[in-house]
Amino acid sequence: MSQKTRVCVIGAGVVGLSSAVRIQDELPHCDVTLLADRFSPDTTSDGSGGIWFLHLVGGVSQDLLRRWSGDTWDHLVSMATSPLAAQVGAQLVSGYSFFSEPQNPEWRTQVLGYRELDRQEIDLLLPKAKFGIFYTTVMINVKAYLSWLMSRFKKNNGKVIRAKVDKLENVKAPWIKHFMTYQESDEHCEKYILPGADFVVLGGTGQRGDWNTSIDDVDRKKIWDGCLQMIPSLREAEVVQHWTGLRPHRLSGVRLETGKLPTGKTVVHNYGHGGSGVTLHWGCAGQVVKEIRAVTTSAVSRL
Q: How far apart, in Å, are the Cα atoms of 152 and each of 45, 149, 199, 224, 283?
A: 18, 5, 26, 37, 18
* Beta bridge pairs of residue 5: 30
Predicted local distance difference test score (pLDDT) of residue 174: 76
Predicted confidence band at 129 (pLDDT cuts at 50, 70, 90)? very high
Q: How far apart, in Å, are the Cα atoms of 92 and each of 138, 182, 223?
A: 4, 20, 25
CA distance 25 to 194: 32
Say if CB 49 and CB 201 are below 8 A apart.
yes
Specify the pTM. Answer: 0.82
Task: Establish whether the linkage from the previous residue to 41 is cis, with ω within 30° of 0.
Answer: yes
Single-letter code of the amino acid located at 25: D
pLDDT in tens, 142-194: 999 999 999 999 999 999 999 876 444 558 667 778 888 888 765 556 688 88
Helix and strand element counts for the chain (H, E):
7, 13
Say if CB 69 and CB 54 are below 8 A apart.
yes
Predicted local distance difference test score (pLDDT) of residue 223: 85
CA distance 101 to 113: 21
* Beta bridge pairs of residue 258: 268
